[in-house]
Amino acid sequence: MRETTHRRIVIGDVHGHYNGLMTLLEAIAPGSMDRVYFLGDLIDRGPQSCQVVEFVIANSYTCLLGNHEQLLLDSFVNGKGQAHILQVWLYSGGHATVASYADSRICAEHLDWMRTLPTYLDLGDIWLVHAGVDPQMPISEQTADQFCWIRDEFHSIQKPYFPDKLIVTGHTITFTLPGVHPGKIAQGEGWLDIDTGAYHRKSGWLTGLDITNNLVYQVNVFENCVRTLPLEKAVVRIEPNLIFARR
């Protein structure tokens, strides 16, 4: 397939897998006119969170706020650790993030950058958000609690939230949804989920979606293998009633 000159490329949850991200971007080979967007959760669980954040900042890539960035930010207020939230973050993969920084000190520049991250991005026909939206609330009333954390209420929507926009998310590992095998992308009513579980031993797949050309690029961070396939070959359709059934 011949690719167009200007591409919009969306990267799913990296979770500290810097080497895998470099392999993925080598396969995608974004040009100077292409736009690369990260859906959040750059950090935690994987071994090189510091390097991932530094790379995204250095290249001025657009990144959304993920729940793991939010947990980290909530763990420190005015430079002071918030004991309960800090323990939740560390338990949720934060230990690996701390270990990736020299002397286990997360640099202030990275924290300041995370505080600037938007919770969603409207590209016109595409709407990017880390987790999803609450189908019962207007966007103006929703906060990071919905945009960074929601799961089943969003995945079980009966009709698209936007009549003219496709919502692309990460956050929920796709193989945790009914009928989806590791590495597959999940599709519902007006949404795509591209978090294929890079950090998880059951999967290892990190996904980049070329929206312009409907191409999926994937690298397995454990097996160091790369594949490219048409979007229609990578997608598994999720029926809303199956999400309802497991709630």
Instruction: Write out pLDDT tens, residues 93-152.
Output: 999 999 999 988 898 999 999 999 999 999 999 999 999 999 999 999 999 999 999 999
> Counting Cβ atoms within 10 Å, is residue 116 exposed (0-12), middle (13-18) or buried (19+)?
exposed
pLDDT tops 90 at residue 56: yes
pLDDT tops 50 at residue 3: no
> Counting Cβ atoms within 10 Å, is residue 176 exposed (0-12), middle (13-18) or buried (19+)?
middle
With a pLDDT cut of 90, the percent of the chain lying above it is: 87
Predicted local confidence at residue 243, as pLDDT: 66
Q: For the domain covering 8-246, report its CATH number.
A: 3.60.21.10
C-alpha distances out from residue 25 to 161, 182, 230, Å: 31, 21, 17
Q: Are 43 and 51 in contact (CB under 8 A)?
A: no
Full-model pTM: 0.94
Give the type of residue at 85.
I
What confidence category does residue 154 fall into, taking pLDDT thresholds of 50, 70 and 90?
Answer: very high
Tokens describing residue 182: 């590791």
What is d(CA 84, CA 77) in angstroms, rounded to the nearest whole number?
12
Tokens describing residue 107: 């640099």
Q: Are 15 and 48 in contact (CB under 8 A)?
A: no
Contacts of residue 73, defined as CB under 8 A and 6 or more positions apart, other chains included, come to: 111, 114, 115
